[in-house]
Amino acid sequence: MGRLQGKVAIVTGAAGGMGKADALLFAKEGAKLAITDLQQDKLQEVVREIKQNGGEAIGFSHNVASEEDWIRVVEETVAHYGKIDILVNNAGISSAIPFLETSVEQWDKVMSINVTGTFLGQKHVIPHMINNGGGSIVNISSIAGLTGGSGAGAYTASKGAVRMLTKATAIDYAKHSIRVNSVHPGYIATPMTVDLFADEGMKQWFLSQTPLPRLGNPEDIAAGVLFLASDESSFITGIELPIDGGYYAK
């Protein structure tokens, strides 16, 4: 308890899945939360859950591909809490469209949310972190950002871009004591993957790709995100952390 005591954190895509798990764990560890999503009903449920458990949270409707939305979220967070210590760029979309069937519109949508959303979050939060004397940014990539895969060219490219943007930002802002790291989830049971894993044949295939004999859950990812967000990782920046049951070790 208290690993983020006194810290202010923005977590995007927090209405469910990994973002919700991050927000709940951060609040339990003492952080003050600004959580964002386009799914407002579910997001406000998370806000209520945090408050009922004694935490502090505010929620914003937020399209991460919109610079105007980012400016508003950051300004209102600072107005409410006075600072920003932590940013978790979690919001994203998946895409399993074969490469030659991918339209420019589909490509642009994946890139705008997964890559531009991460870029904009960093762009508008970093100046406040500089003023604060430091901070921690955790960008959620994927094992698809570490290895090639079939049938998801746009998604794989976007998550690879998040990985390298993380490294570039880490180098540029280390002198300001701002740490930037990426987390690379493996096969995780979330609302985004529920239909995929509902097919028993597909579920068994994914399990066969993971040395540890189970699918991951959002809490597995949240534990790693918490470590990178906290002062426990104060000498860690620019890394990629796979949380994948051993997939990347193969």
CB within 8 Å of 14: residues ≥ 6 apart? 20, 22, 23, 33, 35, 36, 37, 43, 46, 59, 90
177 vs 131: CA distance, rounded Å: 11
> Burial, 196: exposed, middle or buried (Cβ in 10 Å; 0-12, 13-18, 19+)?
middle
Give me the pLDDT at residue 186, please: 92
What predicted TM-score, i.e. pTM, was given to this entire model? 0.95
Which of 37, 18, 11, 7 is CA-nearest to residue 192? 18
Give me the pLDDT at residue 208, please: 83
Strands (E) located in the chain: 8-12, 32-37, 56-61, 86-89, 135-140, 178-185, 240-243
> pLDDT (tens digit, 0 to 9) for every residue of the chain, 250 residues total?
799 999 999 999 999 999 999 999 999 999 999 999 999 999 999 999 999 999 999 999 999 999 999 999 999 999 999 999 999 999 999 888 888 999 999 999 999 999 999 999 999 999 999 999 999 999 999 999 999 877 889 999 999 999 999 999 999 999 999 999 999 999 888 877 766 677 787 778 878 888 998 889 999 999 999 999 999 999 999 999 999 999 999 8
Give me the pLDDT at residue 201, please: 79
Active site residue 81: no
Give me the pLDDT at residue 119, please: 98
* 93-to-109, 110, 115, 151 alpha-carbon distances in Å: 9, 7, 10, 15
Give me the pLDDT at residue 202, please: 74
Q: Which of 81, 155, 173, 187 is flagged as catalytic? A: 155
26 vs 84: CA distance, rounded Å: 14
Give me the pLDDT at residue 196, please: 67
> Residue ranges per domain, the chain?
8-188+221-242
- Count the alpha carbons within 13 Å of 66 in the hemisphere toward its beta carbon: 13
Give me the pLDDT at residue 190, please: 80
Tokens of 172: 């540029």
- The CATH fold assigned to 8-188+221-242 is Rossmann fold (3.40.50)
